[in-house]
Structure 1
Amino acid sequence: MGMETEFATVVEPRDGSLSSGVSAREVYAALRDAICRHLPAVEGLDGGDRRFLANGSAINLETHLAFRDGPGGLFEMATPEVYRPSDLVACQRAIDEIMRDAANEARWSDNQNVGRLRVLKNSCDAAGHLYGCQENYETDVAFGFGLVVYRIAICFVWALQIACVFMSFPVVVAIVFASLVQHSVRQARSIVRRRGARFDTQRETLDEDDASWLHDHPDTNESEETFVALPTWFQWLSIACLRMLHLPLVLSLRVIGTHIAFRTQRRHLTGLLVSRVAIMGTGHLDHDGRFFLSGKALGIDRVADMGGFNGERPIFVYGHWLSKLCGRSWRSIAETRHLLKRKQRLQIGLSDSNLSDLAQWAKVGSVALVLDMIEAKQTKELPRLRRPIRALHVFNRDWNLLRRVPTSHGEMTSLEMQTHYYRAAAKFVREQQQQSRQASGWDEADQALKHWAESIRLVRQFRKDGNQTSQGLGRIDWLGKRWMLDQAAGEMPGEHASWVTRKKIDLRYHELSEEGYFTRFIADHREHQLVDEDDIAMRRRNAPADSPAAQRGWMIREFAGDVSVAGGPTMRTDWDRALVGHEQGVRTVVYGQREKEQRAASANNNF
């Protein structure tokens, strides 16, 4: 299991102006370099902006290519892949602290109008753009005959992929040729300018300053910048051609993801994910002053789909499959065979960027427990929603926790659904403990149940009495934010605070610096923290020793050397394997293959 979190960045200009003029690409480079000064890092296999760190995590610029020269930008940081919820929560806390420190330690040149960089861990900005967190779990993609159908469908997609690669070849050649011409023209113009300014002392000084600045701020991805520099009509035409050529592949993959893959998981997990906004949402204040339990849930419009291909925002996302099929040219053809494996990555897009340890624990622990129940075929007691998307939006508006929606067990509120899931999971764990007669092997499950039950109790207490919020502060994110918004007062006695004031509270709650409202509250209430500081410090340096990420981290420390900031040429890596260059050639190393086989043979559950 693992998580990917997108952090929003806000740049405050040094001169007090409205805009700093610093691009998303420059912000990413500054944060990346600040992180890599403390952690060795190497480039990803596909080049680009991604860096893999020695603690098992990875960073990336999660902003569309066309907007990277504009302000703002989303900085994505992913946890190492781990086996236990406790490790995942500790790794996420470590990532939060790494991002906080990087924002404080980022270095800026005199030419960059930056006074301060703020990093927010939220799910929706003031303009209504959605981002945030995604959860990943390795589980069975299908069972029995369904697995056979799935593999046949993947073989069909594999054939389509090969055809698409051959048909796309002329378009790719045209893009490469145009990029080379564009690059040559830019170089020629640069030479002409330098020769023309040879006797201009002032111009030479400026050129030296520019060269020095470029040396301090290297390109994050030269090929991407070259493509962006091409004429807009050419970019649009080439992308449109590639989309048209890959349309059969996309449609086939959409059928697999919607009707074949993870059918059982979607059937039994959807109700849990939809109703959990009541206890694990982070809260959101919209432009009309309405309060919602979850910012991420606002844009969810379907149960399963690509996620972002045509603007769709599903609960279950499989856009990473499309990236694997289309994003790596010829090498992607060989990698498609990995989609034939029984275990695949289930990605959940309906997930808020929680700050509370209790919410983090309950979120990942409850999903892992229900996945265990699904694999054990103990799902008879789990409720199913009749209309999941409509139910999600009903629950999301219902911060009073009173609205009911139709389910397979009759009409239920969000809290009733969570309680039903919790009781079924508790019963499942008790039965498994009795069968195995080793209660100690289920410590993680017991911890997950404990934190899940506590989350339900705190929200139920608020539902009974709206004034009972003190115990939930710092533990239930949306409840703490709602309380802070209610405390805000207007300029005149008895007057309600303006929308602008309340929206600032909404956003400042998620700021990771010492000025963030959640951070300030937790600093005075350390008892609400569930992760030891020593564990966080350990996860800032290393991944859990029994995870595939540990081997990746060891190799990064070995091969990154003194070029960690720029990404070393001696090693490039992905999540599952690395390419290591040496005198005899290039060697491929697959992470954790032996450990995975041993674990699969001895383990019967996720915990």
Structure 2
Amino acid sequence: TTIHVFKNNVDSAGHAFGCHENYLVRRFVPLETIEHQLLPFLITRQLYTGAGRMTPDGFQITQRADFLDEAVSSATTRSRPMVNTRDEPHADPDSFRRLHVIIGDSNRSQWSTWMKLAVTHLVLCAIEDAFRHGVPSGFEQYAFADPAAANRTVSRFLDNPRAELTLESGESVSALGLQRRYYAAVKAFIETHGDALASSLPATTIDTIMGEWSRVLDALERGAYDALADRVDWAAKKRLFDALKRRRPDVTFAQMEQLELDYHDIANGRLYGSLVARNQMRELLTGDNVEYAVHNPPTDTRAALRGRFVDAALNVGAQFSADWTHLTLTAPERREAILLDPFEAEPTLGFEQLMEALN
């Protein structure tokens, strides 16, 4: 039996399923601010994070746009929002809210996954800091009059790269133009907050992120989509589809759908692996990096403490449970430690007492 596991967002029957991103946001930033200032960025960043999709009406750069009908909602089944308001911070609830983003596509490209998180982090930092000091972030006037319509227009970017998106203010701007505005505002923010931002990015540098962001926007401006095909999923797919249609002008939609499914098959797909093997898709991590991360938690977060507890409990055969914030011994004597700070890797008194009970 061959098992296929697809990392994608749409099936052939018209069902859509999400890709979830979660960000810790300071509690003092109202959700309404996030909706108005961040959502236009999330919609237009799909220019370089979209996974692409072949539809009967043509190629779109995102998979989810045609299925999302609300901007913000607490529901994810009866409606399909871009941001879910369910507030489970898995941290100190007085300090943080959980920003649960479900507008994004499921990427195969490591570069797209990295960019999606890194650039969103920088934009959120600018929004948080502005609200903390009661000053403009630079993003106040970017809210869309109709986010769902803007999202669908961005998805059809290749049909009309200069298509105008209408803002609540009545102004019109292209998706690429809006991304450039976000880029400029973040760059200005970095000039006065560079050290603090650098300390929040232990695994990369601000210059690397901003350089990649600038280069991808420049390539999109030039229409140099092939230049992005080694890192942007939709561009990689477009190159494949274009090459296939040149070789086989009579190729059917079903055949292209099958090729696309193979691209997303992480269990037995061959297409994506062949692109990597031929250096046609950029990888940021080696197999050894991934294997190490499977077995070793980050040393600078509470995951290191959770890992120590789970390992020790398994070694002595204790009955236990562990979630984001609670480590619990359930037998022979019930004890619990609470870890509310995701970035604290130093043992708390409660954690030390829990480990002593295991010994």
For Structure 1 versus Structure 2, the TM-score category normalised by the shorter chain is 0.7 to 0.9
1:188 alignment partner in structure 2: none
1:547 alignment partner in structure 2: 301
Q: Which whole-Å CA distance do the structure 1 matches of 2:200 and 2:38 have between them? A: 24
Q: Tell me if structure 1 keeps the 8 A contact 2:86–2:100.
A: no
Q: Cα deviations across residues 88-143 of structure 1 (Å, max 9, x unaligned)?
A: xxxxxxxxxxxxxxxxxxxxxxxxxxx11111111111112111411100112334
The one of 439, 443, 450 equivalent to 2:211 is 450
1:314-463 aligned within 5 A: 314-319=81-86, 341-377=94-130, 378-381=136-139, 383-400=142-159, 401-407=161-167, 408=169, 410-433=171-194, 436=195, 444-461=205-222, 463=223
Match of 1:133, SS? coil
Q: Tell me if structure 1 keeps the 8 A contact 2:51–2:105.
A: yes
1:215 alignment partner in structure 2: none
Q: Cα deviations across residues 544-580 of structure 1 (Å, max 9, x unaligned)?
A: 1111222222222222359xxxxx8711121111221
**Using a 3 Å threshold, how does the CA distance of structure 1 residues 533 and 429 change in structure 2: closer, same or farther?**
farther
Q: Cα deviations across residues 434-460 of structure 1 (Å, max 9, x unaligned)?
A: xx5997876533332223223323333
1:39-78 aligned within 5 A: none
Q: Which whole-Å CA distance do the structure 2 matches of 1:590 and 1:440 have between them? A: 26
How far did 1:472 drift?
Answer: 1.6
Question: 2:81 is aligned with what amino acid?
Answer: P
1:590 alignment partner in structure 2: 338
**Using a 3 Å threshold, how does the CA distance of structure 1 residues 530 and 453 change in structure 2: closer, same or farther?**
farther
Q: Tell me if structure 2 keeps the 8 A contact 1:577–1:590.
A: yes
**Using a 3 Å threshold, how does the CA distance of structure 1 residues 484 and 574 change in structure 2: closer, same or farther?**
same
% identity of equivalent residues: 21
Q: Which whole-Å CA distance do the structure 2 matches of 1:498 and 1:266 have between them? A: 41
Structure whose residues are more often helix by fraction? 1
Higher relative contact order (CA 8 A, sep 6+): 1
Residue 251 (structure 2) pairs with residue 497 (structure 1): yes
Question: 1:576 is aligned with what amino acid?
Answer: T
Q: Which whole-Å CA distance do the structure 1 matches of 2:13 and 2:41 have between them? A: 29
Residue 272 (structure 2) pairs with residue 518 (structure 1): yes
Question: 1:572 is aligned with what amino acid?
Answer: S
Match of 2:334, SS? strand
Residue 22 (structure 2) pairs with residue 136 (structure 1): yes
Q: Tell me if structure 2 keeps the 8 A contact 1:361–1:448.
A: no
Question: 2:41 is aligned with what amino acid?
Answer: L
**Using a 3 Å threshold, how does the CA distance of structure 1 residues 593 and 381 change in structure 2: closer, same or farther?**
closer
Q: Tell me if structure 2 keeps the 8 A contact 1:513–1:519.
A: no
How far did 1:276 drift?
Answer: 1.4
2:350 alignment partner in structure 1: none
Q: Which whole-Å CA distance do the structure 1 matches of 2:328 and 2:206 have between them? A: 37
Question: 1:307 is aligned with what amino acid?
Answer: A
Q: TM-score, normalised by structure 2?
A: 0.83
Q: Which whole-Å CA distance do the structure 2 matches of 1:595 and 1:477 have between them? A: 32
1:484 alignment partner in structure 2: 240
Q: Cα deviations across residues 318-356 of structure 1 (Å, max 9, x unaligned)?
A: 3465xx9xxxxxxxxxx9xx8851311110010111111
How far did 1:427 drift?
Answer: 1.5
Q: Tell me if structure 2 keeps the 8 A contact 1:301–1:389.
A: yes
How far did 1:541 drift?
Answer: 1.2
Instruction: Flag structure 1 segments of 5+ consecutive residues without an equivalent.
Output: 1-114, 144-260, 325-334, 563-567, 599-607
Q: Cα deviations across residues 462-512 of structure 1 (Å, max 9, x unaligned)?
A: x2xxxx44322231111111121222249xx86331111011012111112
The one of 8, 18, 38 equivalent to 1:269 is 38
Match of 1:509, SS? helix
Match of 1:392, SS? helix
How far did 1:539 drift?
Answer: 1.0
Q: Which structure: larger Rg?
A: 1
Question: 2:330 is aligned with what amino acid?
Answer: G
How far did 1:421 drift?
Answer: 0.8
1:243-322 aligned within 5 A: 261-286=30-55, 288-309=56-77, 311-319=78-86
Instruction: Flag structure 2 segments of 5+ consecutive residues without an equivalent.
Output: 131-135, 347-359
Quote the RMSD (CA, aligned, Å): 3.0
Q: Tell me if structure 1 keeps the 8 A contact 2:299–2:345.
A: no
**Using a 3 Å threshold, how does the CA distance of structure 1 residues 528 and 340 change in structure 2: closer, same or farther?**
closer
**Using a 3 Å threshold, how does the CA distance of structure 1 residues 480 and 372 change in structure 2: closer, same or farther?**
same
Q: Which whole-Å CA distance do the structure 1 matches of 2:44 and 2:51 have between them? A: 14
Match of 1:540, SS? helix
Q: Cα deviations across residues 169-220 of structure 1 (Å, max 9, x unaligned)?
A: xxxxxxxxxxxxxxxxxxxxxxxxxxxxxxxxxxxxxxxxxxxxxxxxxxxx
